[in-house]
């Protein structure tokens, strides 16, 4: 139904280099890759909607019609009826000025009727026909994604390309949408190409999975077999980097290095520079995808794996990149348990952070309805909740970025509920007590400032005589000192997040608030950053409030976990107790959604 | 509907402030108020007493203001000091020409500006875009009076296609008479609309929902009208409305150049003749037009954007 041969996407340079894919009717194929692998461009090329300045080469056939180089008029006939694209973000994918019903109606074949629209909504699990009259802003993310799916399916396409359809959604909603996609696909006998960065999602829903790396497919095969016995070192690396939700891993292993540009590795194995098994054969020529047993293809020249059963460990021991060595050889000055830094240290058993009955309302919406929690010195507490649960409001309150309506926040015994009420000296002290790492390092770092300048600015706020040099800070987060001269733009996502962490550590805070610090990072990078944060907690004795939606991440970093739902704590306990034996219904649903 | 009520209240408040400022013109004018209000008439003891009585100048200021405002609300701004006619009639005589010119100009502005801006955005970086952007810049740089002279010389004097002077009597005459002035007025404004539209459309082109619409095979006409035009309507409406308000009150250069007896022309001569009642009425009318147009823009937002309608975003 869909067949691509040697699909290339070319702009100023080659971005996608030779993708061969086939999707048959009734089949779900996964296309997995990290950011920069070219998977989204591949999706765009399939519907002939590449961004400006890019063009496709090779062949893309959809139901016999050639897409590459086709006239817009022909493409209009193909799009929606033969092939349709569901995009990532339900919050931007729907026209804000049109109702849900209008989105569906505009591509329905034949005459549109109220009944037909209601039927289409019911197909995607919306039983209330009144939703047709609602505008996107009146619907939740999950509802929007359902409406978008109904709109994408309105023209009854034979093939649906779903580009990260669940990435912007909460864990429980993700689960529902994936199940819905599967159900609709089976009911319609439609082909689905599911593009995702999430290996678990791909393995859970797809019949076959293709792994993309640096603009090409490096491995392909049935999902279960790929998971059990990866036949390409990149796939094994990805699997090894995946944090487990079931157990805390001794060491989180990322893949060393960064994804190369597709044009730089055109004639060699794209993974060679990051692979520990590299031989002359890897760089002599580009290894083609070769069959290795039933339905399995790999682009690795080595006999890494046969059919399932002859699996080998994800990565040989020698490949394990070590955590930044600095952490273990940290100068004594860095190791001082930071709470000792503040003059009025914790009295007795006073925790580092104590939040009591915190309340915050935005108009009619209750963001926090009396939340209490505490973080002990040197302890990492996970704060889990979906969007709208109030976890970010809590973080901002503790940071003094907003003033709560009620309740108390105490840091080492000091009442910091209302920052405006503090004197300048106290405020400076609080500033040194608590720091933050935000989700997206590409927006939390000033693009005009070099890394060194950003860090120097941060260290200048530290107590005199307690300052850490820029080079030391960089070393602390495992970056070479030469990075001080670079600007954020010249760094990869993971490196930027390391800089953001270094900046937060510059004043040697006793408490670090991490607001989804790895949510925008790729799996292989995420492992590095998580390992770094764990090291900081362990070796520097920094207490952490770790906000995340990802239970696997919580399992790896947090000793205790607090579950937040609609502005209230619904469950609290040691991480293993909360995740292994969830007591609250909501926690149980969360855990079920990732299993 | 709280939105409409709030906007109406704000508009009324604005007009109130404006009326105070307008009335203050009398107090601020140099010389005695009697002298100002006597205008060109001979200043004798009787005439001064008559004026004092007519304008209640012996009453305290707030009372005088209240009396003036009461008259003004009923449409009575007194009589022109110059022509002795009621101010309202003086303005009413001039209004049709200006309204015709302003309406004509705004139609031309939108008819040229919208498609040109959209076309430039769609061909971003191409020769068409560069051509349109450059033309817009040039059009913006030529002041309306210079444009008026160019047009007069080219199309009225040299080619003789259009009349040189006056506003015409019948509807057809009116249209031919107003064509050149409207073009002169619309040139710079169309350039503003082109830039607005181009920016709005460029912003729009990057939106996921536009890509999603194409990926679902939404028809071409629907894509352009239902998506592109409707979603860019709001910023362009705002600019269009403000331009219309400016045309209604301040097209004086063009009116002068084409010998049109419009409101702008009236304002210039009234200021020249120190005809205070006329100036007051015109200032208040100008303010009322701006306030009314802004109110209309707000209502248009209400009609176009459901988020405003449902109070989801602060307007």
What does R_g of chain A's alpha carbons equal in angstroms? Answer: 25
Q: Do A106 and B220 touch (CB under 8 A)?
A: no
Q: Do B222 and A87 touch (CB under 8 A)?
A: no
Return the residue of A nearest to B206 by Cα: A51
Contacts 24+ apart (CB under 8 A), A394-401: A394/A355, A394/A358, A394/A368, A394/A547, A394/A564, A395/A436, A395/A513, A395/A515, A395/A545, A395/A547, A397/A355, A397/A358, A397/A360, A397/A368, A398/A353, A398/A355, A398/A434, A398/A511, A398/A513, A398/A545, A399/A434, A399/A436, A399/A513, A400/A430
Whether the CA torsion A336, A342, A343, A349 is positive or negative: it is negative
Q: Do A49 and B310 touch (CB under 8 A)?
A: no
Q: Please tell me the predicted confidence (pLDDT) of residue A348.
A: 55
Q: Which residues of A touch B227 (CB under 8 A)?
A: 95
- 8 A C-beta contact, residue A499 and residue A441: yes
For residue B2, what are the contacts with CB-CB under 8 A and spacing of at least 6? Answer: B311
**How close, in Å, is residue A419 to chain B by CA atoms?**
28
CA distance A425 to A331: 28
Of the candidates B99, B253, B97, B91, which has an alpha carbon nearest to the alpha carbon of residue B169? B97
Q: What is the distance, to the nearest Å, from the Cα of residue A284 to the centroid of all Cα atoms in its chain?
A: 35
Of the candidates A224, A207, A171, A197, which has an alpha carbon nearest to the alpha carbon of residue A592? A171
Of the candidates A528, A575, A524, which has an alpha carbon nearest to the alpha carbon of residue A548? A575
- 8 A C-beta contact, residue A417 and residue A409: yes
**How close, in Å, is residue A192 to chain B by CA atoms?**
15
Return the residue of B nearest to A133 by Cα: B306
The CATH code that applies to domain A325-594 is 3.40.50.300
Q: Which residues of A touch B226 (CB under 8 A)?
A: 98, 106
Q: Do B307 and A96 touch (CB under 8 A)?
A: yes
Taken as a whole, chain A contains a residue count of 595
CATH fold, domain A2-244+251-298, is Rossmann fold (3.40.50)
A&B contacts, CB < 8 Å = 83
Q: How far is CA B265 from CA B249, B252, B272, in A?
A: 10, 5, 11
What DSSP line would sit under B117-155, residue for residue?
Answer: HHHHHHTTTSHHHHHHHHHHHHHHHS-HHHHHHHHIIII
Examine domains A2-244+251-298 and A325-594 and report if their fold is the same.
Answer: yes
Best of B122, B129, B208, B217 to mutate (most A CBs within 10 Å, chain A) = B217
Best of B215, B220, B312 to mutate (most A CBs within 10 Å, chain A) = B215
What DSSP line would sit under A253-298, residue for residue?
Answer: ---SS-PPPGGGGTTS-TTGGG-TT--HHHHHSPPPPEE-STT-EE
- In the DSSP assignment, the letter for residue B86 is B
Print burial letters for B60-81: b (CB count within 10 Å at least 16), e (below 16): eeeebbeebbeebeeeebbbbb
Summarised one tens digit per residue, pLDDT across range A141-199 is: 889 999 999 999 999 999 999 998 888 788 788 888 999 999 999 999 999 999 998 88
**How close, in Å, is residue A92 to chain B by CA atoms?**
6
Using CB atoms, pick whichever of B214, B227, B307 lies closest to residue A49: B214
**How close, in Å, is residue B247 to chain A by CA atoms?**
31
Return the residue of B nearest to A86 by Cα: B212
Q: Do B207 and A148 touch (CB under 8 A)?
A: no
Element (H or E) spanning A210, and its range? strand A208-213
Return the residue of B nearest to A363 by Cα: B312
Q: Alpha helices, DSSP H only, in B152-251?
A: 171-205, 208-215, 220-222, 230-250
CA distance A197 to A175: 15
CA distance A349 to A484: 40
Residues of B with CB under 8 A from a CB of A: 124, 207-209, 211-220, 222, 226-227, 230-231, 304-307, 310, 312
Q: What is the rounded (10 degree) CA torsion for A130, A135, A138, A143? A: 70
**How close, in Å, is residue B162 to chain A by CA atoms?**
44
Q: How far is CA A405 from CA A131, A409, A420, in A?
A: 35, 12, 14
Return the residue of A nearest to B306 by Cα: A97
Q: So where are chain A's domains?
A: 2-244+251-298, 325-594
- 8 A C-beta contact, residue B269 and residue B93: no
Instruction: Provide the token pair at B54.
Output: 């007519």
A14 DSSP β-pair partners? A10
**How close, in Å, is residue A3 to chain B by CA atoms?**
18
Per-10-residue mean pLDDT for chain B, 315 residues long? Answer: 81 86 75 69 77 75 81 79 82 87 90 90 87 92 86 82 75 82 89 91 87 89 85 85 82 82 84 80 86 86 81 50
- In the DSSP assignment, the letter for residue A167 is T
Strands A28-32 and A365-375: unpaired
- Mapping DSSP onto H, E and C, the string for A220-246 reads EEEHHHHHHCCCCHHHHHHHHHCCCCC
Q: Which residues of B touch A135 (CB under 8 A)?
A: 306-307, 310
Q: Please give the angle made by the CA atoms of B215, B218 and B221, to the nearest 5 degrees.
A: 135
Query: Helix A141-153 vs helix B208-215: angle between axes, to the nearest 10 degrees?
Result: 30
Q: Please tell me the predicted confidence (pLDDT) of residue A150.
A: 93
ipTM score above 0.90: no
Q: Do A107 and B218 touch (CB under 8 A)?
A: yes
- 8 A C-beta contact, residue A51 and residue A44: yes
Q: Which residues of A touch B307 (CB under 8 A)?
A: 96, 135, 137
What CATH homologous superfamily does B91-309 map to? MetI-like (1.10.3720.10)
Q: Which residues of A touch B212 (CB under 8 A)?
A: 85, 87, 93-94, 148, 151-152
Per-residue pLDDT of chain A (595 residues; tens, 9 = 90+): 899 998 999 988 888 988 999 999 999 999 998 887 888 899 999 999 888 888 999 999 998 889 998 888 889 889 989 999 998 888 889 998 899 999 999 888 877 888 999 999 999 999 998 999 999 988 888 899 999 999 999 999 999 999 988 887 887 888 889 999 999 999 999 999 999 988 888 888 899 999 999 889 999 999 888 888 888 999 988 888 888 888 888 787 888 877 888 888 888 888 888 888 888 888 888 888 888 888 888 888 887 544 333 333 443 333 334 444 444 444 444 443 433 333 344 445 678 999 999 999 888 888 898 999 999 998 999 999 888 888 888 999 999 888 899 999 998 888 888 888 888 888 888 888 899 998 888 888 898 999 999 999 998 888 777 788 898 889 888 888 888 999 888 888 888 999 999 999 998 899 999 998 888 888 888 888 898 899 888 888 899 999 998 888 999 999 999 999 988 999 999 999 999 999 999 999 888 887 6
């Amino acid at each position: 139904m869909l067949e691509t041969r040697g699909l290339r996407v070319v702009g100023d340079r080659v971005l996608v280099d030779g993708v061969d894919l086939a999707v048959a009717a009734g089949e779900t194929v996964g296309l997995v890759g990290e950011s920069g692998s070219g998977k989204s461009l591949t999706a765009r090329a399939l519907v002939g909607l590449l961004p400006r300045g890019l063009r496709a080469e090779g062949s893309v056939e959809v139901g016999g019609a050639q897409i590459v180089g086709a006239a817009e008029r022909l493409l209009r006939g193909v799009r929606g009826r033969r092939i349709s694209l569901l995009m990532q973000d339900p919050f931007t994918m729907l026209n804000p000025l049109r109702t849900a019903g209008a989105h569906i109606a505009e591509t329905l074949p034949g005459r549109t009727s109220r009944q037909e629209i209601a039927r289409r909504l019911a197909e995607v699990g919306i039983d209330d026909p009144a939703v047709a009259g609602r505008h996107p802003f009146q619907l939740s993310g999950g509802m929007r994604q359902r409406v978008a799916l109904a709109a994408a399916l309105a023209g009854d396409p034979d093939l649906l390309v779903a580009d990260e359809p669940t990435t912007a959604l909460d864990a429980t909603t993700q689960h529902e949408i994936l199940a819905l996609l599967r159900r609709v696909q089976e009911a319609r006998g439609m082909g689905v190409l599911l593009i995702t960065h999430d290996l678990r999602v791909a393995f859970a829903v797809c019949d076959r999975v293709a792994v993309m790396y640096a603009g090409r497919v490096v491995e392909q095969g049935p999902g279960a077999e790929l998971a059990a016995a990866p036949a390409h070192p990149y796939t094994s690396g990805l699997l090894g980097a995946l944090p487990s939700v079931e157990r805390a891993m001794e060491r989180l292993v990322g893949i060393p290095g960064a994804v190369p540009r597709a044009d730089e590795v055109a004639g060699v194995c794209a993974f060679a520079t990051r692979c520990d098994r590299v031989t002359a054969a890897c760089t002599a020529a580009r290894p083609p995808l070769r069959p290795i047993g039933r339905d399995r293809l790999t682009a690795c020249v080595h006999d890494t794996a046969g059919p399932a059963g002859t699996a080998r460990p994800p990565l040989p021991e020698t490949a394990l990149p070590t955590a930044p060595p600095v952490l273990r050889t940290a100068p004594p000055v860095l190791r001082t348990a930071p709470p000792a830094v503040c003059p009025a240290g914790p009295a007795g058993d006073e925790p580092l952070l104590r939040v009591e009955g915190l309340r915050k309302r935005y108009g009619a919406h209750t963001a926090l309805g009396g939340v209490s929690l505490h973080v002990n010195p040197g302890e990492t507490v996970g704060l889990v909740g979906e969007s709208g649960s109030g976890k970010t409001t809590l973080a901002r309150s503790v940071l003094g970025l907003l003033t709560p309506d009620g309740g108390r926040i105490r840091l080492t015994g000091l009442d910091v509920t209302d920052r405006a009420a503090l004197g300048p000296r106290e405020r400076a002290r609080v500033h040194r007590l608590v720091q933050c790492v935000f989700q997206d390092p590409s927006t939390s770092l000033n693009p005009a400032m070099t890394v060194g300048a950003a860090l120097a600015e941060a260290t200048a706020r530290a107590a005199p005589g307690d300052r850490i040099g820029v080079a030391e800070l960089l070393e602390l987060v495992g970056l070479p000192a030469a990075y001080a001269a670079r600007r954020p733009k010249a760094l990869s996502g993971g490196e930027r997040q390391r800089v953001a962490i270094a900046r937060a550590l510059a004043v040697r805070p006793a408490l670090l608030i991490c607001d989804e610090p790895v949510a925008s990072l790729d799996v292989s990078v995420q492992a590095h950053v998580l390992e770094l944060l764990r090291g900081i907690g362990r070796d520097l004795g920094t207490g952490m409030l770790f906000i995340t939606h990802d239970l696997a991440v919580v399992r790896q970093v947090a000793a205790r976990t607090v579950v937040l739902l609609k502005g209230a704590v619904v469950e609290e306990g040691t991480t293993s107790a909360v995740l292994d034996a969830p007591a609250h219904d909501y926690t149980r649903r969360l855990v079920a959604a990732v299993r | 509907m709280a939105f409409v009520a709030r906007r109406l209240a704000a508009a009324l408040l604005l007009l109130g402030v404006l009326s105070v400022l307008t009335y203050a013109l009398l107090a601020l004018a140099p010389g005695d108020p009697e002298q100002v209000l006597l205008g060109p008439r001979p200043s004798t003891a009787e005439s001064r007493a008559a004026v004092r009585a007519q304008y209640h100048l012996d009453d305290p200021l707030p009372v005088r203001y209240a009396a003036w405002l009461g008259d003004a609300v009923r449409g009575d701004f007194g009589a022109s000091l110059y022509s002795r006619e009621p101010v309202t009639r003086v303005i009413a005589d001039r209004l049709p020409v200006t309204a015709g010119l302003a309406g004509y100009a705004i139609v031309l502005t939108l008819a040229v500006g919208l498609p040109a801006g959209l076309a430039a955005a769609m061909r971003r970086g191409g020769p068409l875009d560069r051509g349109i952007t450059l033309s817009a810049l040039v059009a913006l740089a030529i002041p309306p009076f210079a444009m008026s002279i160019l047009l007069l010389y080219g199309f009225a004097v040299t080619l003789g296609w259009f009349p040189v002077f006056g506003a015409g009597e019948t509807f057809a005459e009116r249209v031919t008479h107003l064509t050149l002035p409207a073009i002169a007025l619309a040139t710079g404004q169309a350039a503003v609309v082109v830039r607005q539209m181009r920016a709005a459309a460029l912003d729009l082109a990057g939106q996921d929902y536009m890509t999603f619409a194409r990926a679902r095979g939404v028809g071409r006409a629907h894509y352009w009208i239902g998506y592109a035009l409707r979603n860019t309507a709001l910023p362009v409406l705002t600019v269009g409305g403000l331009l219309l308000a400016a045309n209604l009150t301040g097209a004086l250069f063009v009116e002068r150049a084409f010998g049109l007896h419009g409101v702008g022309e009236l304002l210039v001569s009234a200021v020249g003749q120190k005809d205070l009642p006329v100036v007051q009425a015109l200032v208040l009318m100008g303010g009322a037009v701006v306030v009314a147009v802004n109110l209309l823009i707000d209502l248009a937002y209400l009609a176009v954007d459901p988020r405003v309608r449902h109070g989801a975003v602060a307007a």
